[in-house]
């Protein structure tokens, strides 16, 4: 017997059962469970309109909405949660990702969006290092949103940031150390 919509609405981030991926932050598992139930209930992939603030309020601080420009392929931040702004050291709303992220970070972060652009739901944990032993590790879920049959918007939920939180300020010498990217729902 599957969970009904009211069951998901009543869950706290800590009450979510086993996720289809091990070790993910409870907030990521909860958002994934909610989004998949919504998609199943609607009989289609979610759109931006399916994410009203009252429905996603408990994840909003840790959420980004990213939009891909069809002509250029650039990824622009449309919504940047307050928790994300704290992690990045500033609000990135309206910014193009490739213009604000250091090179190694951009290459790694953009690769997840490339996989999600065909409709795949992607879970990733990543670690970067720079300078005198500074590092940051984070988890994120990239959930593609349907837009007229194309996946040009992505809901991104990020949790468990560990390390030097304002890593965007470390423009030089940042390098990708490790990552684990898993496709949870294959794209089409």
Report the predicted TM-score, pTM, of the whole model to 2 decimal places: 0.80
Closest CA to 34 of 48, 49, 13: 13
CATH code, domain carrying 76: 3.30.450.20
Q: Tell me whether residue 44 is in a domain.
A: yes
Q: Tell me whether residue 153 is in a domain.
A: yes
DSSP track, 55-95: HHTTTGGGEEEEEE-TTT--EEEEEE-HHHHHHHTS--TT-
Q: Tell me whether residue 3 is in a domain.
A: no
* Tokens representing residue 155 in the block: 């809901």
Residue 187, pLDDT above cutoff 60: yes
Q: Tell me whether residue 1 is in a domain.
A: no
Q: Which whole number is the average pLDDT over 21-30?
A: 76
Closest CA to 77 of 55, 59, 105, 101: 101
* More reliable by pLDDT, 66 or 125: 66
Q: Tell me whether residue 11 is in a domain.
A: no
Q: Tell me whether residue 163 is in a domain.
A: yes
Question: How many domains is the chain partitioned into structurally?
Answer: 1
Can you give the residue range of the structural domain that contains 175? Answer: 21-185
Q: Tell me whether residue 10 is in a domain.
A: no
* More reliable by pLDDT, 70 or 143: 143
Residue 39, pLDDT above cutoff 60: yes
Q: Tell me whether residue 156 is in a domain.
A: yes
pLDDT per position as a tens digit, 131-174: 777 777 788 899 999 887 678 888 888 876 666 655 555 556 66
């Amino acid at each position: 017997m599957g969970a009904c919509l009211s069951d998901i609405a009543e869950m706290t981030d800590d009450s979510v059962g086993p996720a289809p991926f091990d070790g993910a932050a409870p907030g990521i598992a909860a958002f994934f469970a909610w989004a998949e139930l919504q998609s199943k209930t609607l009989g289609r992939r979610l759109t931006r309109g399916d994410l009203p603030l009252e429905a996603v309020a408990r994840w909003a601080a840790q959420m980004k909405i990213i939009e891909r420009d069809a002509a250029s392929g650039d990824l622009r931040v449309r919504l940047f949660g307050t928790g994300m702004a704290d992690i990045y050291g500033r609000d990135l709303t309206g910014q193009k990702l490739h213009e604000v992220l250091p090179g190694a970070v951009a290459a790694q972060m953009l690769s997840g969006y490339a996989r999600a652009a065909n409709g795949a739901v992607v879970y990733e944990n990543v670690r970067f290092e720079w300078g005198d032993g500074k590092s940051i590790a984070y988890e994120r879920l990239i959930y593609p949103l349907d837009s007229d049959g194309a996946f040009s918007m992505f809901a991104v939920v990020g949790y468990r940031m560990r390390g030097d939180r304002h890593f965007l300020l470390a423009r030089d010498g940042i390098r990708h150390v490790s990552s684990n990217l898993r496709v949870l729902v294959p794209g089409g």
